[in-house]
Structure formats: C-alpha cells, structure tokens
Structure 1
Amino acid sequence: MLHPLDYAVLAAYLLAVLAICARTARRSPGSDELFLAGRSLGVGVVGLSLFASNISSTTLIGLPGAAWQSGISVANYEWMAALVLVFTAVFVAPVLLGNRLTTIPELLEKRFDARMRKYLSAVTVFLALVLDTAGSLYAGAVVLMLFVPGLPLGLTCALIAVFAGLYTAAGGLRAVAYSDVLQSLVLLVGSLVLCLLVFGEFDFRWSQVVAAVEPDKLSLIRPLDDPALPWLGTLIGLPVLGFYYWTMNQYVSQRLLGARDVGTAGRGAVLAALLKLLPLFLMVIPGVMAIALFTDLERPDAVFPRLVAEYAPAGLAGLILAGLLAAIMSSVDSALNSSSTLITLDFVKPRRPDMDTRAMARLGRIITLVLVALAALWAPAIDRFPGLFAYLQQTFAYVTPPLVAVFLLGLFGRRVGARAAFRGTLSGHALSAAWFAASQLGWLDLHFTIVAGLLFGLSLLAILAWQALDGETPRPDQLAAVARSRAPAVPVDVRWGAGLVVALTAALVLAFR
C-alpha cells in the first residue's frame, strides 16, 4: 500500500501535467499547432520527448520483466535504437524536414502515389491503437492494481485512458512534447533511485550480482539457438524493427517533424540516442538482479511493480510510480496525437480539401477521444498473452518489415515505380501472414527477430521483382522528393554527435558481450 506522502507526490505530478495542458491549450487553435506544435520544438524538447514517448510499457514494465526471464540481451533493443536514431539524424531527417512533411506517409505519396500514403497510414494507426496505446494502458493498470488492491483491470485502463485522452485532445503535440520533458526527468530520476536501491541489496558490488545470477543472463550477445534473442536476430531483425519504430512510426517521428529546422531535429535525435543507452543500467540490470531477489513470481510483467513495492520507501515509491505513470501517459498521448494526425490529414483532408485549420483541429480532438476509447476496450485482452514485451515485439516483427523495405527503396532507390512499390508491399504482407500462420501451426520455428530480417529481405525481392515485370519509370518530380541535393545540409556537430553515439554503443556492447 502507498504512504500518504506517495499520494502527495502523485498528486503533484498530475497537477503539473494539467497545468502544462491548460497553458498550451490556450495557444492551440489550429491544426499545425495541434499536430506539429507550430514546427517550433527545440533540441531538448525533441530529444527528451523522443525518449519519453518510447519509455513506457516496453521499457519500465517490459524490459525488467524480460531481463528477469531471460537476461540482459533484451537491452539490445535499446542500443540498436540508438544506432537507428543517429542514422535517422544524418540520412533521413534532412529529407523529412526538407519536404516540410506533416505525416511520414506523406513522403510515400510524394515518392510513389496516394495509395502508398494511405496504406502506411492505415497500418500505422492500427499498430498505434492495438500496441502502443492499448499496451501502455495495460501496463499502467497492472501497476495501479498492485498498489490499489481490488481495482478491476478494465476500469483501471479506462481511468488512465480518460486522463490521457483529455489532455492530449486539449493541448495537441505541444502539450504532449512539453509534458514529455517533465515525464522524462521524473522517469530518469525515479529509475535511477530504484536501480540504486536494488543494487544496495548486493552491497553495491557487481561481483555479488555476478555470483548470484547465471553467467549467460549477463551477456548481450547470445547463441544462435537462444530462445530470447539470438545474435542473428540482433543483427538482421532489430535494425528493421528499430527503423520502423524510430523513423517511420508517426507517433515517434512527429517530434522530428515538429522541430524548428534540420539541425534541431538532428541534435534532438542524437540526444535521444544517448539517453537510449541508459535503460541497460536503469531498467534491465535491476530486472536481472530480481532473479536473485524474487523466486515466487509467476509473470515477468510483475517484476517492476514488485521492485517498487519491496524496496522503495515512502515518498520515493510515489516518485517512482509517478515516473511510471509519466512514461505510460507519454506513450498514450504520443500514439493518440499521431493517430489523430494521420486520420485527419491522410484520409479526411484529401476528401475535404476546403476544411479550414480550426475545423481540422476540432476533428482531430474528436478522433483522439474515439481512439482512446477503442484502445481502452482492447487493453484488458492483453492479459491473455504470455507477456507484454512479447506481445509488442512479435506483432511488430510480422507487420513492419514490408513497410521498411518499401520506405528504404523509395528513399535511396531511383528505379522503383509506384505500382511495383504497392504490389510488392502487399506481397510482403501476404507472405508475413502466411509465415505467421505456418509458425502457429508448428511448420516453421524461427525466432521472431530472425523472421523480421528474412521478411524484410523477401519484401525487398518482391518489390524488385514487380518492378522488373512492370518496368514503370519514376517521374522526375517523384525522385525530386527524396533527392539528397535538395535536402538541408546536416550540421557538423550532428555528425560528430552521431559518431560519439556509435563509439559509446560499441564500447557498451563489448563490455557486456
């Protein structure tokens, strides 16, 4: 049970979020402000908001649980994200900002046609609804139910949904991004405190941790037959999943699109990449320590709540719980705002081109509330799956590889036409569905990260095969949309920052290999 001081900390956090929402709502009349914060976000806001939008169910709940179950190799998702972010900062962000995009699917329309825009947009909204939003609502409910016994799962998901939905609809991306800054700081402080408290159970000596845990649980690079994350999956699968999540996923990339300029976007992405190196120490390793501390847990999703309940004293428990709620709210508000953006601009606006900005903003707020209601209805169903992290990552592994394949070919290729792109993407998803069915029937048994890499390669081949059969040549205006010569130059400090992230990542992997 929580101490009165913990409730005071939680109340202070909620009041701070409401104050941010109230302040930003007064200056949010139009769609550009609602969806992209007026393209005025600075470096700190972009970087911290990128970090906070991801640090939710897949991190605070999923990472410690996965580490408790299978070891620190789950942190490979985090350092791979850092590499993807710096790649995006140097090679992709200039194209995105040079085209002054409002949505990522808009680039596929410029490079291919409207079909590809709507296809990517529809899939993105689906994933944001059933994975990001519903998963975050479920994660928040799991924790609140531990501290407030007797709360039903469905009602708890609904309460979180109402709060997140209302302030997202009211304040738009500016409220989302500014509250993300607060949430990032609370999250980092809370996670650091909990990590130190748990490490204190081992007298702050790493040798005691090593002695208490099986050696293979402390290795990032695992054998090919490892059931959790084989090295081949890290090599060929995680870059695909990471590229979709950090570059193509509207709810993450919207922060880059809302940056002041390409330099701001690049610096923000580098800052987020540096922060993504921290979860190994703040969230994954405490999960591994829990192997020696808890032997009676039945589900990995209970590891983080149990750590908080057992080791956080009064006041600090409230701060850590506020950090968790902050992270969950961040992912919920990010997914809601981006999905509202996609539906409004990619589906409604083309049919009603005369709609003014205030009408679009009003529609976007209505869509936000509808989406959060749908996510709240689906969230309790996640309890039937074996674990939150597996639910999220395995779904991404089958759905995203064809999308990444067509995006990269469109961005860096010059010969693929619109018809081949669309047909090849459909073929890739048909193959994904067949592979998923075969795996469920027991005909194929490969780790889902390896499957992601193979589906990516097969989707590339499918698109190129359709291009060879079709022979359509892209128009000059389609190629101009992704021309490097027309993209803004990447500042030197962004390139140096990217190099620093790569060096630090290499050092981290070597240290825990």
Structure 2
Amino acid sequence: MNLSTLDISVFVLYVIGLIGVAWWVSRSKAGHETNTNDYFLAGNSLPWWAIGASLIAANISAEQIIGMSGSGYKIGLAIASYEWMAAITLIIVGKYFLPIFLQRNIYTMPQFLEQRYDHRVRMIMAIFWLGVYVFVNLTAVLWLGALAINTITGVDMMYGMIFLGLFSLAYSLYGGLKAVALTDIIQVVLLVFGGLFLSYMALDLIGAGQGIVAGFDTLTTQLPEKFDMILSPESEHYADLPGLSVLIGGMWIMNLSYWGFNQYIIQRTLAAKSVAEGQKGIAFAAFLKLLMPIIVVLPGIAAVMIVPDLDKPDQAYPHLMNIMPAGLKGLVFAALVAAIVSSLASMTNSVSTIFTMDIYADKRPGRSQHHYVFVGRIVSFLALIIAMLTAKPLLGQFDQAFQYIQEFTGFFTPGIVALFLLGMFWKKTTANGGLTAAIGSAVLSLVFKLLWPELPFMDRVGLVFILCVVLAIIVSLAEKRGEHVNAVNLDDVDFKTTSGFNLATLGVCLILAALYITWW
C-alpha cells in the first residue's frame, strides 16, 4: 500500500505542526534557566486535561494499536479487558496512591522507595526499570511502529525506526515532560478521531454500506466466538486470558503495577498542580480507556472478515488502512504515528529522569541544574539508539508482541506490586522484606513457568503476588524491628476526593458492569 500525495501532505503538516507547537510550549521566560523540575516534572504545572490526555498518549502506542488489534484478530473482544479493567485501576490509583506520592514531592518511583525503605532498594529498582524501559518497552514501540510504517508505506523497518526516534526527539528532547504532555492533547485527539473513523469504515464495509449498526450486527452474528469477554477453559486462548482471572485475579496485579508504579505513566500525575487536579486528570483518562477497545480491538475483529488470511495477526490494523480514502488515510496514519512517538517521548523522558535523578545525581551530587538537564537529554538520545539496535533481535520472531510483553513483564510485576503496596500500607515492612518480594517474584515466576507450564500466565501472576506478600511479611516479622522508621503515616495523608471524582468513579463502575453483563 502506498500513500497518495494528499495523504503525505496531511502527514507532513501534522509533523511540522506538532514540532512547532512543542517548541512553542517549551519556550522559557526571559532570564529563567530550565531546571530539573521544569524538564522532568513540567514545573508541577500540568492541568487535568493535559494529565489525562498524556496518560492515554503515553499508554496507547504501537504496542496497543498494532498489538491489541492483532490480539483482537486472533482472540477477540476478551483482550479488551486490559483496557476496561485499567479504567477502574486508574480510579484506585487516583484515590489511594497519588495522594501519598504527591505528599512526598518525588520525581521518580525509585526515589519513593528510598524514602520508604533504603538506598539499596532505590538503586536496584532504578537499574531494573532502566533495563525494562529500554529493552522491552522502547524496543516494542519502535519495532511495532516500524512494522506498521513498513506495511503501510513499504519503508524499510530500520528506516522506520530511525524516523520514529528522530521525530520523538525533535519535539520532546528540548522541552522535556512539558513538551510531551501539552502536545499529547493533539496526539489523543488525532488518535481518537482517526481510530474511530477507521472502525466506522470497517463496520460500514462489513455492513455492505448499510452503516455501522448493520456492520456490527453482521460481525457479531458471523463471529460470535470473538465477542466472549470471559473465556471458558475450552477456549484455545484460555492460557492468555484465563476466565475470571481478568476480573478477580492476576490482571489486577498487572494493571496496578502499570498504572500505579510505572514511571513513564505515573510521571505526568507527579507533575500535577495539585492532588485534586491530578485526580481529575486520572478520571478523564479512565473514561478514555473505556473508549479504547473501539479504537484498538474492534478493528482487529473486523479484519477477520475483511482480510482473513493474514500471515501475522499484528498486520491487521495496517492492512485495514487500505480501505481509507485519500487524505483520511493520511490522517489515520498520522494518528498511528502520533500514538507511537508520544509513547517514545514519554518513555525516553522517564528513562532520562530515572538515570539522572536516581543514579547520576547520586554519584555526581552538587552539579548545576543545567548540567543535570543536559545529562537527561543525552540519556534520552542514547536510550533510543540502544533500543533501535536491539529491537529486531528481541522482537522480530513474535507474531503477537502484545502478549509477549505482558508475559515477560508478568515475571516481575507481582514483586513490584507487593513492594509498593506493603510499603505504603503496612508499616512493619522492612527493606529486606521488600527486596525479598521483588527478587522472589522473578525466581518464583521462573519456577512456575518451568514446573507448571500449563498454568496461565495471568493466574501465575496472581499466585506469585500472594507468595511474594507472604515472603515479605515473613522476612519483615523475622527481623523484629516493629514499625519501620520511614513508614508512611497514613493519618497525615488526605484521601478525601471531590464530588466530581466520586461521580466519575460511579460512572466508570456502572459502564464497566454494563459492558461485562452484555458480553459475558
């Protein structure tokens, strides 16, 4: 498939416009030198709409658009549980986690771990997250993004990755988080409207021009197995999404880790003007998450009827773009690239934040603010170079990259969630107890993977989490230190939320209940 001149023109205008807006919002006031708070936390000035949009833009990338569409093609609507359960997870993060983090004025998640535990925990987790972000997250976004560009335009994969990397650096390297977050509203508008229009075109095509209702009716009638939200043990995909575990099991652990303790996600809420502003942004993001399956999963299901003989499921979304008319195809292509580069920018900014504030500043204290910002920019650039070089060896052989990423991260997330939850809500958790949970997670996950391979990975995540909590409690009690000297005093944290946030919570719960009752 080739883009027409009109498509290319639309795309070029988007690229130039986004870079121009990013540089405009990144300008400094006369006489003000950009410091680490400006660069890494946008000067704690982000409004709710920027926080909500940026949360979604950082999250929805090639990993979701290409990967989840591919899983929709192969598995069906059940994969949407990752999106829909994330909505309620966001509400929990906003009410119970964000007030604790903002009270401590932190830059990074490892910084919180030092405040709560000790320096060892901070360094171990900082190094761990740097490895995951560079070799798992960045590589996945670059590889899947380049795959999409290759399918749509025929551009070589390596050239596609180079373009994506340079584009993300062009609008984010100078301005940092402020440039990323304030331009993400543009990215999300493109993503939502471009994705909705692609879904509309696919359903209208299936409905033989009779509209989306007729198309959706045809889709559900001819492919009823693709609309089971809770898979039975007899399903060939049960190992990926094991029944009720998506509602009451391991998916909670995956989502809490991703939305609550993941630096490149939580960083934009750490940059909020206030707790209330951050919570409004999180509520906004929760409602957008409810909408995402229409954009990232439904096209994959529709592709089963439109292009049924694909070599790989991850080719579903790019192939669907063939049905778009000239001009609008360029707009949807721009929306796809917008999602990719916004995630790249968010990840590289978070990599530079963790490296600079948790590792470099610890080894080289007392340097100027300008120096630390310069180091952060260099790290962003190097992280992308490393990810480009390792993307193909790490991901080239997988046909469902989204599922691969979930299973890989599932080795570590149980311990991370145990480490944070016990650190926030149980005062007797010691540093050794927390480290036992974090390290034990990988060991226990590997043991279960080897000795109980038929256990669905999501069930494994839930089981390992329980064991990690037990291990942390045993080790902490065995040390007989009582309440940790750095324990979080919950009496000092204000967990009260506004009536608007409470109404948003009710709305999200009711919509989720309706969705699962309908597609059970």
- Please state if 1:318 is matched with 2:330: yes
Q: TM-score when scaled to structure 2? A: 0.94
Correspondence for 2:433: 420
The aligned amino acid for 2:100 is V
Q: Distance in 2 between matches of 1:403 and 1:233?
A: 19
- 1:19-75 Cα shifts (integer Å, max 9, x gaps): 123223422721111100000000100001101111112321011110110111000
Cα offset, 1:487, TM superposition: 3.9
CA contact (8 A) 1:78 1:276 kept: yes
Matched, 1:331 2:343: yes
Partners of 1:65 and 1:419 lie apart in 2 by 41
Confirm or deny that 1:108 pairs with 2:126.
no
In structure 1, the partner of 2:6 is 5
Q: What is the CA-CA distance between 1:290 and the residue it aligns to?
A: 1.4
Alignment pair present for 1:358 and 2:370: yes
Aligned to 2:203: 199
- 2:214 is the alignment partner of 1:210: no
Query: SS of the residue aligned with 1:170?
Result: coil
Measured at CA, do residues 172 and 505 of structure 1 come closer, stay the same or move farther in structure 2, by a change above 3 Å? Answer: same
In the TM superposition, what is the alpha-carbon distance from 1:227 to its structure 2 partner? Answer: 3.5
Structure 1 CA distance, aligned partners of 2:365 and 2:498? 36
Residue in 2 that maps onto 1:499: 506
CA deviation after TM superposition for structure 1 residue 488, in Å:
6.4
Counterpart in 1 of 2:480? Answer: 471
Q: Does 1:86 align with 2:98?
A: no
Partner of 1:446: 455
Name which of 179, 182, 188 aligns with 2:186.
Answer: 182
Among 218, 221, 231, the residue aligned to 1:222: 231
Paired amino acid for 1:298: D
Cα displacement string for residues 267-291 of structure 1 (whole angstroms, at most 9, x for unaligned residues): 1001000000012222212211211
Code of the residue aligned with 2:388 in structure 1: it is A
Unpaired runs of at least 5, structure 1: none
My pick for the range that moved more, 202-211 or 170-179, is 202-211
8 Å CA contact 2:77–2:229 kept in 1: the answer is yes
Is 2:158 the partner of 1:148? no
Report the Cα distance in structure 2 between the residues aligned to 1:110 and 1:491, rounded to whole angstroms.
Answer: 28
Residue in structure 1 matched with residue 48 of structure 2 by the alignment: 43
Which residue, out of 398, 404, 409, partners 2:417?
404
- Secondary structure (helix, strand or coil) at the match of 2:173 reads helix
Distance 2:519 2:38 in 1: 44
Shift of the 428–470 alpha-carbon distance from structure 1 to 2, 3 Å rule, reads farther
Distance apart, 1:486 and its partner CA = 3.3
Q: 2:466 aligns with which of 437, 442, 457?
A: 457
C-alpha contact 1:157 1:380 (8 A) present in aligned 2: no
| Cα distance in structure 2, aligned partners of 1:482 and 1:63 | 40
The answer for the alignment partner of 2:396 in structure 1 is 383
Letter in 2 for 1:10: F
Deviation at 1:468, TM superposition (A): 2.8
SS across alignment from 2:176: helix
Is the Cα contact below 8 Å between 2:66 and 2:314 reproduced in 1? yes
CA displacement at 1:444 relative to structure 2: 2.2
Question: Closer, same or farther in 2 for the Cα pair 1:89/1:339, shift >3 Å?
Answer: same
Q: 1:340 offset after TM fit, Å?
A: 0.5
Distance 1:362 1:488, change over 3 A: farther
SS at match of 2:175: helix
Q: Deviations over 1:214-240 (max 9, x none)?
A: x22101111145243112431311111
Aligned with 2:132 (options 105, 108, 127): 127
1:95–1:482 CA contact under 8 A, matched in 2: no
1:114 to 1:495, Cα distance in 2 relative to 1, 3 A: farther
Letter in 2 for 1:361: V
SS at the partner of 2:174?
A: helix
Normalising by structure 1, report the TM-score.
0.95
Alignment root-mean-square deviation, CA: 1.6
Q: Give the Cα separation in 1 of the matches to 2:143 and 2:331.
A: 20
Asked if 1 retains the 8 angstrom alpha-carbon contact of 2:56 and 2:285, the reply is: yes
Whichever residue aligns with residue 192 of structure 1, its letter is L
Q: Which residue of 2 aligns with 1:369?
A: 381
Distance 1:500 1:313 in 2: 36
Number of residue pairs the alignment of both structures matches:
504
* SS of equivalent to 1:123: helix
Q: CA deviation at 1:399?
A: 1.8
How far does residue 435 in structure 1 lie from its aligned partner after superposition? 3.2
Alpha-carbon offset, residue 482 of structure 1: 4.8
